[in-house]
Amino acid sequence: MVDLIKRAKELIETSVVKVLIGYEQGTANKTRALFVEKADDADRLIFDSRCVQNLAAYVTKKEVKEKGKMAIAATLPVMRSIIQLASEFQVNDNNLLVLGITPESKLIEFANLVEVETFVHKYEIEIDARNKEMLDKLEKMTQAERWKFWMDELSPCFKCYACRAACPMCYCSRCTVDFNQPQWIPVPSHELGNLEWHIMRAIHLTGRCIDCDACYNACPLSIPINLLTKKMLADAKEHFGAYQPSLKGDHLMSTYKPDDKENFIQ
Amino acid sequence: MNIDKRLVRKDSLEKLFDILKQNSKTIYAPFSKNGKTSFMDAKSFAGISTGHIQTSESSKDIAFPRAEKILDYSKNKEGMSVKGIDFADIPEVVLWGVRPCDAIGIGELSSIFNWDYKDEIYNNRLSKVTVFGFSCNKSDEYCFCTSVGGNPGNTAGSDILFTRMGEDGDYLAEIITEKGLTVVSLAQNLFEKSETLEREKFLAEVPVRFNHEEIRKKLDKFFESKEWIEESLRCLGCGACAYVCPTCACFDIQDEAHGKKGSRVRCWDSCGFSHFTVHTSGHNPRGVQSARWRQRIMHKFSYMPERLSVYGCTGCGRCSRACPVDMNILEHLISIQEVTV
Amino acid sequence: MMDNLYMPYLMRIDRITYEAPGVKTFMLKFVNEADQEKFSYKAGQFGEYSVYGVGESTFCIASPPTRKGYIECTFRQTGKVTNALSDCEEGSIIGFRGPYGNVFPIEEWKGKNLLFIAGGIALPPMRCVIWNALDLRDNFKDVTIIYGARTVKDLVYKDELKDWELRKDVKLVTTVDPDGESPDWKGEIGFVPTIVEKIAPSSKGTIAIVCGPPVMIKYTFPVLAKLGFTDESIYTTLENRMKCGFGKCGRCNVGKVYVCKDGPVFTLAQLKELPDEY
């Protein structure tokens, strides 16, 4: 990542950006986010296969955004998140510069988000084989079996909301679970509270989730909650066509088309 | 009481488990699933995890459940009837396989629930728990019990502490409390007398990484430090650290209505959440994540020692293992120790 | 069954008074007489009021301990619980647990002048101590009350304000923010700190008790300092968010200090020792 370090230094030194978000070596064998604000700190930047945290979660964080224009070292999932965030007016060319890291670990500096979008669209969002297999397995279960599967998986959830915190698309300053008038979702982590929270989360992410697995990776109990969003991704594809984040903002789940195959709205 | 040391042969553990079951004890023990180890209601001895360094969650759930009823109400013609929980309904539980850093955490949790006002719901739950501690024979880089006054073979908080003597060896059982003695009396012959019971060489080595008294003194003048802002920039404000912690006790109180009946529920909450301290007016005294991260450290290493005379950290390292963004409490404490204020 | 800290007293709403838009006062009586007999509190303390099935909300006891047989609370409809409380009718049963927190040291104020300064919905915490003092009127010298609200409509305890106005042993000054006056308004017009400066009560042998929105408090303290009040002679209450009321739920602490146990009453001198986290 010599290129990245060099470019990061230039960007900071010339004040093109105030902060660059990348990865550094963390504790134990973890990697973690690094916020480069001084050129010297850029030497700590790293990139390798362990760098899977979706850094796009930081571009909407108040304390980071307040620093001024940001640059981000963005892998493909991060770039996808950024395009989706841009389509929801959370970032734009004025506050974010994208230094792309291609799946081949090559650095590309994009002039603007349109270029990022063009790059992103070269790759389809595809559910990996292991999870596809798991979804097939779930599909083949009887309703009762599936219910038991989810009850077993979701019962340990203690609602720490690490899944929400790690997700770039969960940037709402007041999440549905934080509303209490009415109390849409029960606050305590019991069967009903957990189930409703995770279903609500998956539904809010459908047509926005870029399938980065940040939620699953963040879960301290390794609950496979990403299966819910993956299932929604697969279903949405079947009904409305493949999902790609797009600057045009034609959101998969909230765009009306006259030729929509569902006729309830016509 | 004097700690009585006994030998428990490795194949006697299962017998002990069965005897406890026959005496209608509920046993919570660690089991592994999805690569994580958690305490679960153990129906049989088979499958109880022994190889883990630390369970993903602490065992505090047993005395301080993540969600528990504190009262039931029902509206009727005469008005309202409200019933507290019946302590007799709380089952007798054996907590099996607790690490010393969890066992000592029970004392710290108890201090929170008993300074001034005594929380009898918590106290009653705890009074029904017998703690079987299991010493640590291995550790990892997240462990720092020895920096906060603990150690891998610490007896504090356990009723009986088992130490495995060698990889596939028998167990040394230290019977620490009356509660422990009561259990032993159920299975007297499994706790054998023996002359040669040594434990130190089987315990994990956990180096001392910082001096907690020094940290406490530093924190007295550290509230305004810029470190909090720098260290917490990557914190995303979830509650994973608090919920896996053996001593975090923040909670919320919520009502759950079902028609004319319902319950009031006490459930876990976390000082890391952005809405935790928001006033009704919208004003938030801890409006930024750095203030919330500071609260977490200050509470454990400054406020609790000052007000409750105990530290709020057992050095189990769980929060750092669980953190999705590598907020490592040990790393930060060491850096606080190194800073000159 | 042993004591359950979380178990509220059952209270019957005996009377509801409409105070201002969204603001009501409940007179509450204990459903069980035995509870009434063992219950006692002092001025400044607070409690958790609950609507069963909705939840609990924290506010002060607004009636003075010198009036026996009932307690009163005044609240503004703002959140889930206060909305539900507002929907309650006379005769409804609600929950109350408390009293919690420390108290205004009224005994220590014997022989002194008392200056009460309140803004908006912060009169209720002060009403308790005002009436407490007025019920023991001979213990104190001059009693001055400066009370302001955004508009005339927002003034609470309108009947009591009239009473205080008529009393010879109380000096009452009411004020509303500029443009908050009605055509027949006879009180002052201006923000509370400005009015305090204008009235300029003597600080000699005087205790000032200040309750109000943070911005009012922030600008009133320097005015009092200018008038010669020492930090030890100025009292206020903090109202941090709480759930339990007894030092366990982890919300209300300001540094080492727990508002629910060490507060809610603080002197300015004590506040100055605290980090800025309230």
Q: What is the pLDDT of residues C166-199, one digit of tens each?
A: 999 999 999 999 999 999 999 999 999 999 999 8
Structure tokens at B300: 């454990």
Chain B nearest-CA distance from C99, in A, is 12
- Least CA distance to B300: which residue of chain C? C256
Q: CA C105, CA C201: separation in Å to the nearest integer? A: 21
Please indicate if any CB of chain C lies within 8 Å of the CB of B45.
Answer: no
pLDDT category of residue B34 using cuts at 50, 70 and 90: confident
Same domain, A11 and A115: yes
Give the one of C56, C243, C255 whose C-beta lies nearest to B251's C-beta. Answer: C243
Q: CA C43, CA C129: separation in Å to the nearest integer? A: 5
Chain B nearest-CA distance from A127, in A, is 20
pLDDT category of residue B339 using cuts at 50, 70 and 90: confident
CA distances from B286 to A159, B235, B336, C9, C278 (A): 21, 14, 21, 32, 8
Give the burial class of A27: count Cβ atoms within 10 A of its Cβ; 0-12 exposed, 13-18 middle, 19 or more buried.
middle
Same domain, A92 and A171: no
Average pLDDT, chain B: 94
Same domain, C82 and C118: no
Query: Looking at residue C278, what is its pLDDT?
Result: 86
Mean pLDDT value of segment C69-77: 94
**Each residue of B20-31: pLDDT tens digit?**
999 988 999 999
Q: CA A231, CA A253: separation in Å to the nearest integer? A: 15
Please indicate if any CB of chain C lies within 8 Å of the CB of B113.
Answer: yes
pLDDT category of residue B77 using cuts at 50, 70 and 90: confident
Beta-carbon separation of B277 and C249 below 8 A: no
- Least CA distance to A60: which residue of chain B? B236
The proportion of chain B whose per-residue pLDDT surpasses 90, expressed as a percent, equals 87
Contacts of B141 in chain A (CB under 8 A): 27-28
Beta-carbon separation of C1 and B87 below 8 A: yes
Same domain, C228 and C119: yes
> How crowded is residue C20: how many other Cβ atoms within 10 Å of its Cβ?
20
Q: Helix, strand or coil for residue C224? A: helix
Please indicate if any CB of chain C lies within 8 Å of the CB of A174.
Answer: no
Same domain, C63 and C178: no
Domain tally for chain C? 2
**Each residue of B267-317: pLDDT tens digit?**
999 999 999 999 988 889 999 999 999 999 999 999 999 999 999 999 999
Query: Looking at residue B318, what is its pLDDT?
Result: 97
Task: State which amino acid sits at residue C30.
Answer: F
Output the domain CATH number for residue C54.
2.40.30.10
Dmax (CA) for chain B in angstroms is 70
Mean pLDDT value of segment A215-233: 96
Same domain, A69 and A154: no
CA distances from C239 to B280, B284, C278 (A): 10, 12, 8
Answer for the pair B96, B37: CB distance below 8 angstroms, yes or no. no
The strand order across the sheet containing C171-176 reads C188-189, C171-176, C143-149, C113-119, C206-211, C234-237, C265-267
- Helices and strands (H and E) in chain C: how many: 7, 15
Higher pLDDT: A76 or B199? It is A76
Q: CA B99, CA B136: separation in Å to the nearest integer? A: 7
Same domain, C74 and C124: no
Residues making up chain C, counted from first to last: 278
Structure tokens at A18: 């105030």
Query: Looking at residue C106, what is its pLDDT?
Result: 95
Residue whose pair of structure tokens reads 């995890």 in the numeric block:
B49
Please indicate if any CB of chain B lies within 8 Å of the CB of A66.
Answer: no
Mean pLDDT value of segment A101-128: 95
Query: Looking at residue B261, what is its pLDDT?
Result: 96
Q: Helix, strand or coil for residue B323? A: coil
CA distances from A78 to A94, A167, C77, C150 (A): 18, 11, 44, 49
Same domain, C113 and C196: yes
Same domain, C154 and C82: no
Same domain, C116 and C227: yes
Contacts of C83 in chain A (CB under 8 A): 181
Structure tokens at A116: 């990022």
User: What residues make up the domain containing C83?
Assistant: 9-100
Q: Is residue C232 part of a domain?
A: yes
**Each residue of A133-158: pLDDT tens digit?**
999 999 999 999 999 999 999 999 99
Same domain, A62 and A153: no
pLDDT category of residue B228 using cuts at 50, 70 and 90: very high
Average pLDDT, chain C: 94
Same domain, A111 and A134: no
Beta-carbon separation of A180 and C79 below 8 A: yes
Same domain, A143 and A224: yes
Same domain, C117 and C226: yes
Chain B nearest-CA distance from A3, in A, is 24
ipTM of the complex: 0.93
CA distances from B188 to B6, B7, B182, C7, C86 (A): 10, 11, 10, 43, 63
Q: Is residue C275 part of a domain?
A: no
Same domain, C13 and C116: no
Q: Helix, strand or coil for residue A10? A: helix
Per 3-state DSSP, what percentage of chain A is helix, strand, and coil (rounded to 5)? 40, 10, 45
- Least CA distance to C82: which residue of chain A? A181
Contacts of A183 in chain C (CB under 8 A): 80
Structure tokens at C40: 């006692």
Q: Helix, strand or coil for residue A237? A: helix
The proportion of chain A whose per-residue pLDDT surpasses 90, expressed as a percent, equals 86
Answer for the pair A51, A30: CB distance below 8 angstroms, yes or no. no
Query: Looking at residue C2, what is its pLDDT?
Result: 46
Answer for the pair A59, A67: CB distance below 8 angstroms, yes or no. no
Residue whose pair of structure tokens reads 């503004």 in the numeric block:
C76
Chain B nearest-CA distance from C266, in A, is 17
The proportion of chain C whose per-residue pLDDT surpasses 70, expressed as a percent, equals 99
Q: Is residue A15 part of a domain?
A: yes
pLDDT category of residue A265 using cuts at 50, 70 and 90: low
pLDDT category of residue A51 using cuts at 50, 70 and 90: very high
Q: Is residue C36 part of a domain?
A: yes
Same domain, C130 and C22: no
pLDDT category of residue C1 using cuts at 50, 70 and 90: very low
Mean pLDDT value of segment B59-78: 93
Give the one of C52, C78, C253 whose C-beta lies nearest to B262's C-beta. Answer: C52
Give the one of C5, C54, C278 whose C-beta lies nearest to B120's C-beta. Answer: C5
Q: CA B295, CA C178: separation in Å to the nearest integer? A: 40
Same domain, C88 and C112: no
Beta-carbon separation of A53 and B268 below 8 A: no
Contacts of B252 in chain C (CB under 8 A): 243, 249
**Each residue of C82-133: pLDDT tens digit?**
999 999 999 999 999 999 999 999 999 999 999 999 998 889 889 999 999 9
Same domain, A140 and A109: no
Beta-carbon separation of B238 and A218 below 8 A: yes
Beta-carbon separation of B240 and A33 below 8 A: no
Beta-carbon separation of A160 and B34 below 8 A: no
pTM to 2 decimal places: 0.94
Give the one of A63, A190, A223 whose C-beta lies nearest to B289's C-beta. Answer: A63
State the count of interchain CB pairs (< 8 A) between A and C: 6
Beta-carbon separation of B303 and C56 below 8 A: no
Q: Is residue C243 part of a domain?
A: no
Q: Is residue C23 part of a domain?
A: yes
Beta-carbon separation of C2 and B120 below 8 A: yes
User: What residues make up the domain containing A168?
Assistant: 129-240
Output the domain CATH number for residue C217.
3.40.50.80
Domain tally for chain A? 2
Same domain, A13 and A109: yes
pLDDT category of residue A23 using cuts at 50, 70 and 90: very high
- Least CA distance to C11: which residue of chain B? B80
Q: Is the pLDDT of residue B206 over 60?
A: yes
Which residues are CB-neighbours of A13 under 8 A, at least 6 positions away? A39
Contacts of C5 in chain B (CB under 8 A): 117-121
Structure tokens at B59: 């065992």
Those chains having 3 or more beta-carbon pairs within 8 angstroms of chain C are A, B
Beta bridge partners of B265: B69, B254
Q: Is residue C117 part of a domain?
A: yes
Contacts of A190 in chain B (CB under 8 A): 67
> How crowded is residue B53: how many other Cβ atoms within 10 Å of its Cβ?
17
Same domain, C20 and C85: yes
